[in-house]
Amino acid sequence: DVVIDVGTGTGILSIASALFGARHVYAYDLDELAVKSATLNIQRNNQQDKITVQQNDLLSGVQLEADVIVANLLADIVIRLAGDAGRVLRKDGCLIASGIVKNQQHEVEEKLISSGFSIENTLELEGWIAIVAKFLG
């Protein structure tokens, strides 16, 4: 699978995706220091052949077709991401969004549904929500 990690931070989700068998991972973060940190961590885990890291604002200008998008971001950023996520995901592709505070879950789910996703699963841990959504195309 082709995976996109939006807001990669330290690169942990990119590294995990590569180690679990992703064909290629594209990792994006707006923060230049995060890009440097992710690059270093990816090298330390010998995954530089499978992971491409770039500085970018969410999915702006990204012209890939992905099977999975992972995004550990706050709710308002997931809401901003929803439309572009549908643009780059293959039909039946999966968006896994975490970092959502419980009281913002409904707002995020509504935006995902209006952007062409179905909510497949939600997980909660100590007031934080992760949403697994499938792009219906």
Q: What average pLDDT does this structure show over 25-36?
A: 97
The pTM of this model reads: 0.95
Q: CB of 104 within 8 A of CB of 112?
A: no
β-pairing, 89-101 with 66-72? parallel
Residue 137 has pLDDT above 90, yes or no: no
Spatial separation of the C-alpha atoms in residues 66 and 107, rounded to whole Å: 25
Give the chain's mean pLDDT: 97
Residue 80 pLDDT level (bands cut at 50, 70, 90): very high
